[in-house]
Amino acid sequence: MIFVGLSHKTAPIEVRERLAIGRSQLPEVLARLTAHPAIAEALVLSTCNRVEVYASPRRPAPGLVRPGGAPPSADDERALQNEALRAAVSVLIGIGGDAVRGHLAGRVGADAVVHLFRVAASLDSMVVGEPQILGQMKEAIEIARGAKTLGARLGRAAHRAIKVGKRVRTETAIGAGQVSVSSVAIDLARQIFTELTGHTALLIGAGEMAEAASKLLVRAGARLVVVNRSPERAAALAREVGGEPRPWAELERAVVEADIVVSSTSSPSYVVTPDLVRRARKARRGRSLFLIDIAVPRDIDPAVNKLDNVYLYDVDDLSQIVAQSVEGRAVEAARAEAIVVDEAQAFEAWTLERALTPTIVGLRARTRSILSAEVERSLSGKLRHLGPAERQALALMVEAATNKLLHVPTT
């Protein structure tokens, strides 16, 4: 198995958004990956903080790699993995352009498995312990299954990754309390205003991240206004949390009224521009405007930050608050790391057993064939005087001896 991709750890947001792959684009990307002769299976995980490809190399038919149909040697396997790695890198650069090249990280073999399991356990998340990653990974798996790009090897790894994530959340307290990008954004809002009660918060978007932010804002006492391109979704979310829905056409007016704006849409282009904010500033009569952009690609043009009395924060700006969260979860993170190592070792044992199965089956069949031929030769020669009962007893004895001889070295 191989992994290649980028995340908040390897690339700033302006690079990550170049490679952002929407849900509707995933089947096409999966098809491009598996169309390459080096890749047999593929899974793509695309979130606001990472875009990662997991793949299983395409292996030649038995007998084409090593004489006699033996499994590939360690060198053969590494060569196949490296070829698949290069293929995946090529596809990602084709999507994000050459600017992403220097920010891509890759792993092969056991290291790729460990990385997958760490991601599922939220150990590689910007906010360690956040629960969204498990749902995002499940969705990525379902899309790959629908695209028919998951087989026995990668499918097993993906299935185990979900189990690892669940085990970590069950056996540790890594997810205790509010831990998500949305919760960190609201923590930042609290730092800005000290108290959100009596302040108006504008939420742009109505997806999963926006929904999480809306509940936290209302819980903190803010008056919530929800704007979304789909008026039905805006109304549904506002109704659920006790907010006020507004049509998309009233976005600028909503910005004028808001004390703080939190934006999380899936728009491929900016929804809040410098021109919109300039017009809103005039109507705000000098009131400061705080904007928190938790979308990737970004919803708010970074040039907005250059305007007077306007303060913009994106997901990369939340890192200082996140660092405090990580310190408080260090002990639970260490317990989660131990679970990841345990599960990765178990998966490697399964992989080795699966790789050796054809050889073991062939060895058993070959041994039985040789012994059977020798018994038949003896029964036609020196032992031809044996009767039916004696011949059957001899056959049973040879079969039992064969099983005992092969049991230890092939189990």
Residue 245's closest CA among 231, 260, 257? 231
The answer to whether 341 and 114 are in contact (CB under 8 A) is yes
User: Binding site annotation covers 231?
Assistant: no
User: Binding site annotation covers 207?
Assistant: yes
Instruction: Tell me how far apart the 2 most distant CA atoms of the chain are, in Å.
Output: 114
User: Binding site annotation covers 27?
Assistant: no
Place of tokens 């044992």: 349
User: Binding site annotation covers 22?
Assistant: no
Separation between Cα atoms, residue 127 and residue 141, nearest integer Å: 22
User: Binding site annotation covers 88?
Assistant: no
Strand partners, 312: 291
User: Binding site annotation covers 238?
Assistant: no
Separation between Cα atoms, residue 386 and residue 291, nearest integer Å: 95
User: Binding site annotation covers 14?
Assistant: no
Which residues are tagged catalytic? Answer: 48
User: Binding site annotation covers 132?
Assistant: yes
Run of H or E residues at 201: strand 200-204
Angle at 182 between CA 178 and CA 183, to 5 degrees: 30
User: Binding site annotation covers 49?
Assistant: yes
- What's phi and psi for 260, nearest 5 deg? -145, 140
Structure tokens that stand for 94 in this block: 């084709």
Determine the residue type at 291. L
User: Binding site annotation covers 208?
Assistant: yes
User: Binding site annotation covers 165?
Assistant: no
Q: Which residues are annotated as a binding site?
A: 47-50, 125, 130-132, 136, 205-210
Q: Which residues are annotated as a binding site for NADP(+)?
A: 205-210
Q: Which residues are annotated as a binding site for substrate?
A: 47-50, 125, 130-132, 136
